[in-house]
Homo-oligomer: A and B are copies of this chain.
Amino acid sequence: MQVQHYEETPSQPVQMEGAHDCQVRWLIGHDQGAPNFAMRQFEVAPGGFTPKHHHPYEHEVFVLEGEGEVYEGDEARPLTPGTVVFVKPDEVHQFRNTGDKPLKFICLVPHIDAC
C-alpha cells in the first residue's frame, strides 16, 4: 500500500505541444506497481490550458479546485470543484483555466507508453 499527500509528489511542466502553464504530478503509475491505469494530478495556472488534442484512450477526470472549461471540440462546458468529466477515446478535448486561481484536477488514463 502507498499512502501519501499528493503534494509530496514533485510536479513537472507538461511538455506536450499545445500546453501552456500546466504542471503534472504522476501520483500512481507503473513506478508504484499499478497494473492497469495511472492517476495524475494536473495544475493549470490562470490563463493556462492543456493541449487541444485527441488520442485513442480515455480520460476519467475529477475537478478538485478552481474554475475552468473543458472543450468538447469547439463547445465549452464549465468546470467547478466536483465536476466529473469522462473523455471517450478519440474525442477532441482541452481543459482551460478561466479563473484567477489554479485549476486542479485529477486525470486517470489506462497504461500507455506516452500521453
Contact = CB atoms under 8 A, between A and B. Distances in A.
B85 A3 contact: yes
Contacts of A99: none
A6 B108 CA distance: 16
Interface in A13-62: 27-28, 32-37, 39, 58, 60, 62
A62 B6 CA distance: 9
Contacts of A4: 83-84
Q: Which among A64, A79, A85, A86 has the greatest number of chain B C-beta atoms within 10 A?
A: A86
Contact of A80 (B5, B28, B32, B93): B5
Contacts of A62: 6, 27, 39, 62, 106
A28 B34 CA distance: 19
Given A27-B84, A86-B32, A70 B1 contact: yes
Which 6 residue pairs of A and B lie closest in terms of their CB atoms, listed nearest first? A2-B86, A1-B72, A3-B77, A36-B110, A28-B86, A37-B37
